[in-house]
Chains A and B, each alone.
Chain A
């Protein structure tokens, strides 16, 4: 009985094999399964939760994590190697930025480490930062108490500073932009204030260091305030089209604008049947 039902089912499907949507439907199924396979295959390495059995000191813990997760590229004593730079003197701020935004550990050796879901949790990141900070002095982690941008920042002044120092790579509205050879300046939307500050101080990837002499701490707070204002600013003119300038506008006018008008023209001149 069961087998009959199955064979009926197949027959039912097989009846539709010459349906005119059969081709597109099969293609869709094939594409989805291909995409799903790729997604699974390229998924992030599963995070091995550290079993923090005996929590000695923060630094000890950081050293242990470093030896496990970082030393294969950066060297057992963080001295660097042929594929990764030395971490002596980069400071806790650098570790907090790179690990805290998920850029480190790198997923692959591509042009640039990209932002992704952090591998290490807050405590592990703090431990790593504490360990790296012991190697040589460097910029310290920015704590929330220092980020008084809401109170001390000036949005308009921050905008001027942003356009002078940041917009050339990150775009006028902080949406990010392309650099040479596949490198890029990432979008600043949704980036935590702490990480923006740390990036300015440490100059990750292709970004230059903006020392406190180039941009004072107050000015840095103003820049952060402007970025946060841009982030929360409603799209005053309607759909933002990505805030990337005329490219998307041109695309829209040829598709929706002229497309709609030509559609109406066809309708107006259609012969009644």
Chain B
């Protein structure tokens, strides 16, 4: 035993004698995690959050969150001697007069976009594989909370430099606050400390952006990960994988290495984007001035759908009792997003109500094996994509030689017509894929090889699947439709009332699928031929 090993051993037993850490560590370092690329989407989000904390801290060293007027004297000539707020001037200072400042600003902003895009991708993975089902409903709720806060946090960060683009965004945020009936104007006055733009908004959102929300993020992310740890990670179905085990690699050393390496890869990709692609070039936008605006003012993509909704709203207002209710802002700016996020948060509970499924699930579902859910997800994505297109309608119009009016009418109609169409098409595709799976299991894979038999008959050679592949394609549960009684024991008709009828209808839609081949069917055919 070398000297180093002896000292290390002594330190370890000193700590272990006092904390009992060895037992805990042995248990947890050998914890097993399943391996799949889609399980790393959440990691992208976590790592970009760390990058955001680090690069954001760097930026606070020079950023001056103040709306006091200054005359710019820095090194960017086209803005010299222009009156602007201290926050805009200090952002210019970071960009042009702090070593590495522009790179850090760009890394921070790209990391924020990757953070949001990663969250949405992770959310889609969790949704389409059914990972939110019991016992993980609470973690789904935390996730929805994180997405919502991420949108707010991102918007506040975009607003801080007080440039012409972000000021326009704050102006729209103010309009949305004002659209709240009765309390709207009071709330807006409270938030801005008087009339827009005032002198207090930037300092206030700075505190929220760098202190309050990151603190909440840290807490929620910790709980999110602790729940993953405690409830164990879900896994894709396959041979040897059950609801009671986790098949994968141990945390130490495999995952430590993989995750550690992946952190640096995420950092590398973010730094690459920050180094080669311009983001939020605030010096081109100019300082905020309520009297100015630029064509093609847009929010970042995670707010783009909201902007698209507001842009497509017809101009409807009600005047009553000396109050104006701006439905054209209220509905797209608050009511529709409120409904969307509530439905998203409640989806695990809605689904379990529809299917009557109260059991625990640790095996994921292939999206095709739950056609109704997959179709609901695709429908929601279609909705968001259609309104997102309208959010960028001016940029699309100029680049593709279309007219804004055409795009607006396309999306106004499309937002109602396209999602249901996508629902039906997705569901049909899922059922077709199930049918293809069934064919594969029963008749093997079509090899495209034609063989002529001695008596002249042509056949196509089918290659039989391996037992493992057959298992993976047939293991999924296919629950029956929920039985909602038409009459109870006393002959009372329809005991659950209208609610029961709806539930039965939903349940029926939800279980619609192609029967997976049974054992006897597979045996009867043998396999691999016709």
Contact = CB atoms under 8 A, between A and B. Distances in A.
B301 to A, nearest CB: 3
A249 B300 contact: yes
Nearest to A186: B398
Contacts of A177: 294-296, 394, 398
Interface residues of A, number: 57
B331 to A, nearest CB: 23
Contact of A168 (B114, B294, B298): B294
B41 A247 contact: no
Contacts of B320: none
Contact of B294 (A171, A235, A256): A171
A178 B402 CA distance: 9
B37 A268 contact: yes
B419 interface: no
A268 B261 CA distance: 10
A176 B266 CA distance: 35
Contacts of B36: 269
| Chain B interface, >50% SS class | helix
Contacts of A269: 35-37, 39-40
A163 interface: yes
Contacts of A160: 82, 286
A159 B102 contact: no
Interface string B281-312: 10111100101111111111100100000000
B295 A178 contact: yes
Interface in B246-304: 258, 261-262, 265-266, 269-270, 273-281, 283-286, 289, 291-301, 304
B79 A159 contact: yes
Contact of A257 (B80, B110, B398): B110
Given A167-B293, A258-B121, A268-B40, A155 B78 contact: yes
Contacts of A171: 294-296
A261 B42 CA distance: 12
Contacts of B95: 236
A268 B395 CA distance: 37
B397 interface: yes
Interface residues on B, range: 35 or more
A269 B257 CA distance: 12
Contacts of B106: 237-238
Contacts of A264: 262, 265, 269
B40 A236 contact: no
A181 B408 CA distance: 11
Nearest to A171: B295
Nearest to B272: A260
A128 to B, nearest CB: 29
B405 A181 contact: yes
Interface string B102-145: 10001000100110011001000000000000000000000000
A223 to B, nearest CB: 12
A156 B81 contact: yes
Nearest to B266: A261
A191 B118 CA distance: 41
Contacts of B276: 238-239
B269 A178 contact: no
Given A236-B283, A247-B392, A176 B398 contact: yes
Interface in A195-245: 226, 229-230, 233, 235-241, 243-245
A237 B401 CA distance: 28
A247 to B, nearest CB: 4
A108 to B, nearest CB: 13
B78 A226 contact: yes
B164 interface: yes
Contacts of B261: 268
B393 interface: yes
Nearest to B96: A236
Given A177-B394, A178-B404, A237-B106, A229 B78 contact: yes
Candidate in A155, A241, A244, A254 with the most chain B CB atoms within 10 angstroms: A244
A172 to B, nearest CB: 4
B352 interface: no
Given A168-B294, A169-B295, 12 more contacts: A167-B294, A172-B286, A178-B393, A182-B404, A247-B392, A248-B395, A249-B113, A249-B277, A253-B114, A257-B113, A261-B269, A269-B35
Interface of B: 35-41, 43-44, 77-82, 95-96, 102, 106, 110, 113-114, 117-118, 121, 164-165, 258, 261-262, 265-266, 269-270, 273-281, 283-286, 289, 291-301, 304, 392-395, 397-398, 401-406
25 contacts: A155-B80, A156-B81, A163-B286, A164-B291, A167-B286, A172-B164, A176-B398, A182-B405, A184-B397, A236-B283, A237-B102, A237-B106, A237-B279, A241-B278, A245-B298, A246-B300, A247-B304, A249-B300, A250-B301, A253-B113, A258-B117, A261-B265, A264-B262, A264-B265, A266-B37
